[in-house]
Structure 1
Amino acid sequence: MTDWPRLLLPASFNGQGFYVESGTAEAGHSVSTTKIPNGRHINESFGPNARKFEVTAYLTGALSHVRAEGFLSAAETNHRGVLILPDIGPSLVRLTKAKREFQKDKLGYIALSLEAVAEPANAGLRLSANALEAQIYAVAGLAATAFGLFAGSSFRLAGQPSTVQEAAYDAAAVPLGDLVALRDSVRLDPAGRDALAPAFSAATLALGGLIDDPSSYGVALANAAIALGDAADPATLAETIVAFGAPDDAPPPQVSQGTALIIAENAGYGVALQSAARALALGEAQARRIYRDRGEAIGARAIATAVFDDALSRAGRAGLDMARELSAMKGLIAELTVRREADLAPLITVSAGRSLPSLVWAWSLYADPLRAEDLARRAGVPHPGFMPERFEALAS
């Protein structure tokens, strides 16, 4: 049986996510009908009309009014961009109208009426790689705010006994400890570790004030994840996350009532933050990753998808805002990886009846002796003078 909701894409305009209540897409053709004598007529085609989109979108959360203002500003200024609808996918459009609705009895919920017209086919559907990279960094900032909203609204702390608060502190410390372990495993140079120190110190300090201000800890944790993504080598960070394995699920409550349920819920929120922090760090790093070949790009895209899917599966209802921003980042990373992958040469298999130096192969394949070192490194040989009889190399 087809699970239709899982096939839907997260909706966004230029990386700014929203939920969709309903939407329409309109297409047509421009035809001029001219009457001629004897009751006849002729039709002249002037080509297809611009495709139009009308969407009823909505925003939720404490920052919904701020994000709604962003859509209104986009319609006035930065109105050209990529519109992604759940059942249609990306379209390059001009946002022609954004209408905000306010209802006093629905605070924290803002409805938007969006209208857009598609750009002509020759306008270029895709944003540049640099623009996609910039959007990933912008979404990371929005994700940090969403982390704070999640931590502030999910952890049950106020008025709880000390046993619950202590358990919640331990649960919230897990994602920060996980980031520290990642930091210590990605082999940062001294300058890189120094660059991370302020963000990790701020997160540690915010953890100490978790009971009174969990929102600040969520933001600080996200900023530490972003800083780690900026400092770490993207490939090494991805390999380390894979080596660590997916976060363990929170243990179930020992009894099905009272504080045991609250302790188990808080533990689950800690795991959700741990998985989300990993995704945020990896996404920040992937934005600037350069690939050696298509195989590496395909593998990196698969790892990023798995990490983000794990984070999205754990967010739950309390993490809708966080999941929205992570979904937007996931889509942007996938598109950016595909873009950079398309510019790479495919791999070919080279074989010979005997071992030859990499210098010979560099000249034979590329007429460029400077590429001998890359051939040897790709083949994994201990000495460039003795290449294997069969190995992989770039086609060009």
Structure 2
Amino acid sequence: MRDWLKAFRPASFRGVPFFVEVEEAEGGRRVAVSPIAYSDLHVTEDMGGQVRPFVLSAYIVGDIADASTRSFIAALNAPGPATLVLPMLGPVLVRVPHWRLSRELGRAGYVGFEIDFVSAGLASLPFAAVPGAFAIAAKIAAGIDILASAAAFRMRDVAPGQAAPSAIAAASAAALMATVADAAELPAEKRPAIADQIATITRLSAEPVAQAGPIAAAIVSTVGAIADVASPAEAVEAFAVAAVPAGNDVFGLVAAAAFATGFCQTLAAGDYLSRQDARRARDRISPVVDPVLEALAAGIDVAVSEWLGEIAATAASDLSAVAANRAPLVSVQTEISLPATALAYALYGDAGRAGELVRRNSVATPAAMPISFEAIAP
């Protein structure tokens, strides 16, 4: 018979442990129902998933219940999303809209809580250059729970004395993210928050077994935060390839998957002026994603591979749609060398597009364009 006392995970929030009396969750789809006039039929349309609430009856108990309660309250009141480890459902990234404490005189050393959690979702609505970037950002956020659960499951049987390689892999992932953040042109106002997230991963890496879920969740959310604002895509691309681990350590695999999805997001957010530009961007997806999928196949839950594959497919499909709606590149020949402003006016009736011609053809002297160059078809 199964030992149910050992079947469930120890509950925690922001790393602060507590006990759970009742664990409740809800889910479902937002379905729009449209009746058809003069008919017994109707139309149902799937509008996406419902916001997932989690309701817990929790408690703190013991001789130091008062001190532990203060720590738990601080965790509940702290701003921003954080990882909640549920006994049965595992790690999820959540926010805390409401909690309530109760203490009874006749139950000294016992403090009860009723807590409402809600899945974290996106930090803000990213108005991306291309709609596909928004869809990918949403998929990355949705995958945080998937990777956290997969990492926690993989690490469950690892003895603390055998966890040194995993600790190194988690710390290496944090260091790699710090390098990417430095290489990417991140807005100054975003850098402190991302640096704090990276520091959290480094701190958690000291306990790779106990903190496996939170480490994986933090890796994915941090790479997603970098990808939201990274420019150019090359800053993420190089490290997506470098992140593929030689072995199959779980945190190396999580980092590789996270960087691959971040690269897909930065590509989808790009601004492609010509059909060929969008197609070239689409063709960059496979060389980055395929090695990661191959590594994931042997080392982590299949749901992670499916998640990455879906994001790559979304990026490829979106870039194909962009390509179909852009003008092609053409080769322009002139008898003599002319200034870029004159050529831009002749081609587009807009001398302001001279910089576009200069950048596309890597011209050092805008006043003297080559007699053969590339331009977007008028």
Q: TM-score range by the shorter chain?
A: 0.5 to 0.7
Separation in 1, partners of 2:182, 2:292? 22
Give the count of matched residue pairs.
266
1:311 deviation in Å? 2.1
Whether 1:271 aligns to 2:252 is yes
Whether 1:331 aligns to 2:313 is yes
1:391 deviation in Å? 0.8
1:200 deviation in Å? 1.8
Partner of 2:150: 150
Task: Find the residue that maps to 2:205 and give its secondary structure.
Answer: helix
Separation in 2, partners of 1:136, 1:324? 14
Contact 1:353/1:389 (<8 A) preserved: yes
Give a deviation string over 1:320-368, Cα, whole Å, max 9, x none: 1212221221111111111222222110001123211111211221121
Q: 1:193 aligns with which of 178, 191, 194?
A: 191
Partner of 1:169: 167
What amino acid does structure 2 have at the position aligned with 1:77? A
Task: Find the residue that maps to 1:345 and give its secondary structure.
Answer: coil
Separation in 2, partners of 1:338, 1:143? 24
5+ residue gaps, structure 2, are 1-23, 35-43, 47-87, 90-128
Separation in 2, partners of 1:372, 1:66? 58
Give a deviation string over 1:120-177, Cα, whole Å, max 9, x none: xxxxxxxxx96644332221111111110121112366435x2x22122112323222
Contact 1:199/1:227 (<8 A) preserved: no
Could you say if the C-alpha distance between residues 210 and 268 of structure 1 is closer, same or farther in structure 2, counting changes exceeding 3 Å? closer
Report matched runs for 1:299-378 at 5 Å: 299-316=280-297, 318-378=300-360
Give a deviation string over 1:12-38, Cα, whole Å, max 9, x none: xxxxxxxxxxxxxxxxxxxxxxxxxxx
Q: TM-score when scaled to structure 2?
A: 0.62
Separation in 1, partners of 2:213, 2:322? 37
Task: Find the residue that maps to 2:140 and give its secondary structure.
Answer: helix
Task: Find the residue that maps to 2:189 and give its secondary structure.
Answer: helix
Separation in 2, partners of 1:210, 1:222? 16
1:312 deviation in Å? 1.7
Partner of 1:140: 140
Could you say if the C-alpha distance between residues 368 and 338 of structure 1 is closer, same or farther in structure 2, counting changes exceeding 3 Å? same
Partner of 1:56: none
Q: TM-score when scaled to structure 1?
A: 0.60
Report matched runs for 1:174-185 at 5 Å: 174-185=172-183
Task: Find the residue that maps to 1:355 and give its secondary structure.
Answer: coil
Whether 1:233 aligns to 2:231 is yes
Separation in 1, partners of 2:33, 2:209? 41
Separation in 1, partners of 2:33, 2:360? 44
Separation in 2, partners of 1:342, 1:291? 11
Contact 2:174/2:201 (<8 A) preserved: yes
Separation in 2, partners of 1:167, 1:356? 61
Contact 2:328/2:376 (<8 A) preserved: yes
1:379 deviation in Å? 1.5
Could you say if the C-alpha distance between residues 231 and 209 of structure 1 is closer, same or farther in structure 2, counting changes exceeding 3 Å? farther
Partner of 1:40: none
What amino acid does structure 1 have at the position aligned with 2:255? Q
Separation in 2, partners of 1:196, 1:246? 18
Separation in 2, partners of 1:138, 1:203? 22
What amino acid does structure 2 have at the position aligned with 1:394? I
Task: Find the residue that maps to 1:190 and give its secondary structure.
Answer: coil
Separation in 2, partners of 1:294, 1:186? 26
Report matched runs for 1:61-210 at 5 Å: 69-70=27-28, 73-74=29-30, 76-77=31-32, 132-155=132-155, 158-160=158-160, 162=161, 164-210=162-208
Task: Find the residue that maps to 1:191 and give its secondary structure.
Answer: coil
Partner of 2:364: 382
Separation in 2, partners of 1:276, 1:248? 11
1:283 deviation in Å? 2.8
Task: Find the residue that maps to 2:373 and give its secondary structure.
Answer: strand
Partner of 2:7: none
RMSD: 3.0
Could you say if the C-alpha distance between residues 138 and 389 of structure 1 is closer, same or farther in structure 2, counting changes exceeding 3 Å? same
1:190 deviation in Å? 2.9
5+ residue gaps, structure 1, are 1-64, 80-92, 96-106, 109-128, 251-266
Could you say if the C-alpha distance between residues 166 and 311 of structure 1 is closer, same or farther in structure 2, counting changes exceeding 3 Å? same
Partner of 2:271: 290
Could you say if the C-alpha distance between residues 248 and 198 of structure 1 is closer, same or farther in structure 2, counting changes exceeding 3 Å? closer
The structure, 1 or 2, with the larger RCO (C-alpha pairs under 8 Å, 6+ apart) is 1
